[in-house]
Structure 1
Amino acid sequence: MRPFRIFAALATLLLATTGSAPAEAAPAGSAVRPVTTCADLVRGFTLPGAATHVTAATVVTGDGPEYCGVQGYVEPAVRFELRLPTKTYAGRYLQYGCGAYCGVLTPPAFADCGLPHGGDVAVAATDDGHIGRTPAVVDDGSWGEHDQAARNDFEFRAPHVVSRASKAIIQAFYGAPPRKSYFTGCSDGGREGLLLAQRYPADFDGVVAGAPAGYWGPLLGVYQTWLARVNAGADGSPVLTAAKLSALHNAVVAACDRLDGLADGQLDDPRACHFDPATLTCAGPDTPACLTPAQVGVVRKLYAPPTDARGTLLYPGGQQPGSELAWAGWIVPTPETGGVSFARSLADNYLRYLGYPIDAPAAKVDDFAFTRGEFDRLTPVGARYNALSLDLSAFQRRGGKLVLWHGFADQAIPPAGTLDYYQRLTHGRPQDFARLFMVPSLKHCGGGTTLTEFDPLRELVAWVERGTTPTAVTATGRDGAGNVTRTRPVFTYPQRAVYDGTGSIDDAANFRPAPPKSAPHDVVDWAGDGLYVLSGPVAR
């Protein structure tokens, strides 16, 4: 699958005031009807700092709920699509984030927020202010080489102004702003969710931030470059190939599966696994069942964070044991990715076009120096993207709720970063506005070996509207035909799921929460310790 399709799929999974009205949500089954026609929305909306133009509005009927499909842009070039149910709207607004460098407008899907019918929520998505070039689209950063306005939109502005534009259009169509507003996204969309809670706390009542790329500058400039460089031989060809990944993954699972007390093909917490890839060293011919000494060295480096010559961590995490199958395409080039790993493509575009001030000297993947000096050179621009502020007090005071989640087998964004941020945010103590869920075996934003889907949106809505604090969210595993093969509860971190000893291990009903075996110590001492201060509001 081409990277464009991967991230387009993830993105789909994935009034002048900026806040929602404080009224209660509409009762289940009730609907708010439009007060004007869909066609009447084709006009301009004068919003300070976010002049909005609706270019098309058409009633759409089909298999799903009937809706008014709105297309437009916020000046200068933030395209958006907004879908307004004509018969089933119940007062909620949901905005989706996007993936990688965005640049594509993915039609927003209607979401199940817990009411007995579909289409009870108005939904919107944006391309974040630019159009990516083909073939991959979402890994293209060339649009930002000389365009600071486009950079501003992608760095922080686009999700905020689309929120304002959508609420103004909702006000015009239904006669009132949304009662409750939600944001959900994964990867860059997760970064956007954190950014909105930190910098624009009045925009949304609830935020889901999945696998958040909050450490944006270090992640794209250093970590993806590290992934590309570690697996490149002297001639540029990959040292570790996709043919070796199955044997490596199977060996990891065989060594560590029972550490969580259950042989179920997944590592509930891969940090407990200390697998040595040298146990797979080829004793004879090089075959897919073993690793050459050079490949052993690559695997060891992938499991570790990048460092400088003094051992200072330049990113707060590395690949986790159990994520090996997901390395194909992202870290290890495959024919489906055109023979270039997605990590290399992301790093190359970031260093060339997005990571430094316009017209400043840039770096390249193959000559980037893993030093504190080069890390610091990425910081001035990176801090504009980063979503690392630990001050969410304004969001909390408004009653905002934040659900963070991350797959433990994420090959793109190491889960250690989210754990680090969450412990810094909460000081290791339960908070009344933030919860974290760590999903075993889940890859980046979805897919995996045993669990493939995770979506806490319904739990977020219940938390915001009914005060039901989420304690568990059910993760689902499906096979290639879409059949459910496993359900498993994911409890609020740091609690873990323990089999109760009866029934199928593939049924979530047969698990109970248990405390961690030891108190978590997730804060990482790394080169970016100062970034949690630098990630505050910037010029709008």
Structure 2
Amino acid sequence: MRPVRIFTAVLTLTLATAGIGPATAHAAADSAVRPSSACVDLVRGFTLPGAATHVTEATVVAATGTDPEYCGVRGYVEPAVRFELRLPTKTYAGRYLQYGCGGFCGVITPPAFADCGLPHGADVAVAATDDGHVGRTPFIVDDGSWGANDQAARDDFEFRASHVVSRAAKAIIKAFYGAPPKKSYFTGCSDGGREGLQLAQRYPGDFDGIVAGAPANYWSPLVGVFQTWLARANTGADGRPILTAAKLPALHNAVLAACDRLDGLTDGQLDDPRTCHFDPATLTCPAGTDTADCLTPAQVGAARKIYSPPVDERGTLLYPGGEQPGSELAWAGWIIGVPETGGAAFARNLADNYLRYLGYPIGAPASTVDSFAFTRREFDRLTPVGVRYNAMSLDLTEFRRRGGKLVLWHGWADQAIPPTGTLDYYQRLTQRSGGLTQTQSWARLFMVPSLYHCGTGSTLTEFDPLRELVAWVERGTAPTVVTATGRDPAGAVTRTRPVFPYPLRAAYDGSGSVDDAANFRPAPPAAPPHDFVHWAGDGLYALPGPVAR
């Protein structure tokens, strides 16, 4: 069933954090930086203030059809931030790329060599970390029990791990090649997007360029409140799901029938779902019936609540957005448990682990998905710890002053993190930074139609602006378009579509296939964007959180 397949792919991409493929070329011998020491000699300690580092393993790994020969380094930064670093032995050209994590992390996803779009492939040293703890099975990334009584582990995950790993990796690179990297990049999605924004806000000297995809930067309201809202919205009095996965295709098709044409093109996707005002009641089953092509009154109510942002008893928004029309197929697995995941819904697991183990000060009264109250008081109870996770500061002055470049992106059909939060943040950042023109000189946002959380989707399934970021940092070429790709289950390309810097949109030029990016041009928005959301977290943008030195 398609929704199940989508969830499996989404979970895989959450673990991988950023779907960057293997390198496709090799650096010329005369441009590569050769090692100045042996790989095995890296097995030692590195004395870094506040980030004592220990390399426990360093082994040369032979080249394959996709990867170059490299020195594979494993180690940890005290107390327990494990990392893996891959150092090309023949193709390195001075770049360092660090990957972010997904969910609550707890696992090291082997870092892939990336094609940066310049003359050399596999020319970049790459690293990844588990963010300072090991998650338990089965899902690992939704386990929060490790933080119940361990403040050091919390510190690492909240704000410290990505920063200290960048310091450790650069020290090891210098020891291996004789010089630190010329340029450093960070890319991540979901929690990795949060980490990217944290680095720009709190550690502006760590990276020259950052890709922050679908950022979970409103962390405590997102995980503690919004995911709880999703779980509760679809839980009946008997504890069973109200809306089932079998109903999602009919719901999605009804949304497309009502709204696909609103962007001027009937192409199976919504270019801006905010223009879609679909009412699930149009699918109400006839009295006494319950089939896959209609919704019971209870299911209509659940769907309406899922589309709506969480609110308190006075109607105050507790998160700046709800599920967007067009995301319905991806609700399977995330909001609705499916057999392939043991009946577990990822949103419920994530929220419950956060409320039980991570969301409140150690020793303070905790909560659960089933006991959480949607009140301003409970929202505020999450804030003291939440500001340590959040990446909501609008002051990126130092990152900008140092020449840093930031690429934000988000899928319009993201079922895990509403895209309206990223739009809200970017408009606030734009205002804080002097307007759109000034902001786009160093920070740009790309909104991808039909894309689910961090990848997969109904028509477009892949988006990766890393090459454009590298060109911006190293050539001064600001990204004016990034191409999104759609693939079928066999991997064949089914659609390409240009994505222009927000608020520009892609307009069909009137000829040729709608599945070919070449047949679209940039167009201004139908109306000036008004993306501010007034919500309970309005005061959080001025709270930067702690900084690890």
Confirm or deny a common fold (TM above 0.5).
yes
Alignment of 1:355-370 (within 5 A): 355-370=359-374
Q: Does 1:390 align with 2:394?
A: yes
| Residue among 502, 505, 508 paired with 1:493 | 502
Q: Is the 8 A contact 1:28 1:115 kept in 2?
A: no
5+ residue gaps, structure 2: 19-26
| Residue among 331, 334, 340 paired with 2:338 | 334
- Structure 1 window deviating more from structure 2 (424-433 vs 30-39): it is 424-433
1:27 Cα offset (Å): 9.7
Among all aligned residue pairs of Structure 1 and Structure 2, give the percentage whose two residues are the same amino acid.
Answer: 79
Which residue identity is paired with 2:195? E
The CA distance in 1 between the partners of 2:392 and 2:494, in whole Å, is 37
Which residue identity is paired with 1:378? L
The CA distance in 2 between the partners of 1:9 and 1:511, in whole Å, is 28
Q: Is the 8 A contact 2:228 2:369 kept in 1?
A: yes
Which residue identity is paired with 1:373? R
Q: Once the two structures are superposed, what CA deviation does each residue of 1:295-326 show, in whole Å capped at 9, x if it has no partner?
A: 01111111110000110000000000000000
The CA distance in 2 between the partners of 1:412 and 1:214, in whole Å, is 13
Q: Which residue of 2 aligns with 1:529?
A: 538
Q: Does 1:318 align with 2:319?
A: no
Alignment of 1:146-295 (within 5 A): 146-284=149-287, 285-295=289-299
Q: Is the 8 A contact 2:318 2:536 kept in 1?
A: yes
Q: Is the 8 A contact 1:29 1:117 kept in 2?
A: no
1:30 Cα offset (Å): 1.7
Q: Which residue of 1 aligns with 2:31?
A: 30
The CA distance in 1 between the partners of 2:349 and 2:461, in whole Å, is 25
1:164 Cα offset (Å): 0.2
1:166 Cα offset (Å): 0.2
Decide whether aligned partners of structure 1 residues 267 and 521 sit closer, same or farther in structure 2, where only a CA change above 3 A counts.
Answer: same
Q: Does 1:429 align with 2:446?
A: no
Q: Which residue of 2 aligns with 1:484?
A: 493
Q: Once the two structures are superposed, what CA deviation does each residue of 1:374-408 show, in whole Å capped at 9, x if it has no partner?
A: 00000000000000000000000000000000000
Decide whether aligned partners of structure 1 residues 130 and 404 sit closer, same or farther in structure 2, where only a CA change above 3 A counts.
Answer: same
**SS in structure 1 of the partner of residue 98 of structure 2:** strand
5+ residue gaps, structure 1: 15-25
**SS in structure 2 of the partner of residue 403 of structure 1:** strand
Alignment of 1:453-464 (within 5 A): 453-464=462-473
Which residue identity is paired with 2:301? G
**SS in structure 1 of the partner of residue 436 of structure 2:** coil
| Residue among 75, 78, 86 paired with 2:89 | 86
Decide whether aligned partners of structure 1 residues 198 and 349 sit closer, same or farther in structure 2, where only a CA change above 3 A counts.
Answer: same
Q: Which residue of 2 aligns with 1:17?
A: none
| Residue among 409, 419, 425 paired with 2:423 | 419
Q: Which residue of 1 aligns with 2:22?
A: none
1:28 Cα offset (Å): 11
1:119 Cα offset (Å): 1.0
| Residue among 468, 471, 487 paired with 2:477 | 468
The CA distance in 2 between the partners of 1:255 and 1:113, in whole Å, is 40
Q: Is the 8 A contact 1:11 1:97 kept in 2?
A: no
Q: Which residue of 2 aligns with 1:511?
A: 520
Decide whether aligned partners of structure 1 residues 443 and 6 sit closer, same or farther in structure 2, where only a CA change above 3 A counts.
Answer: closer
Q: Which residue of 2 aligns with 1:48?
A: 49
1:115 Cα offset (Å): 2.9
Which residue identity is paired with 1:344? R
How many residue pairs get aligned? The number is 529
The CA distance in 1 between the partners of 2:9 and 2:488, in whole Å, is 19
Q: Is the 8 A contact 2:13 2:454 kept in 1?
A: no
Which residue identity is paired with 1:10? T
Decide whether aligned partners of structure 1 residues 493 and 275 sit closer, same or farther in structure 2, where only a CA change above 3 A counts.
Answer: same
Q: Once the two structures are superposed, what CA deviation does each residue of 1:249-308 show, in whole Å capped at 9, x if it has no partner?
A: 000011111111001000000000001111000015200000001101111111110000
Which residue identity is paired with 1:197? A
1:503 Cα offset (Å): 1.1
Q: Once the two structures are superposed, what CA deviation does each residue of 1:50-100 show, in whole Å capped at 9, x if it has no partner?
A: 000000001101232110000000000000000000111110000000100
**Backbone CA RMSD of aligned residues:** 1.5
Q: Is the 8 A contact 2:193 2:213 kept in 1?
A: yes
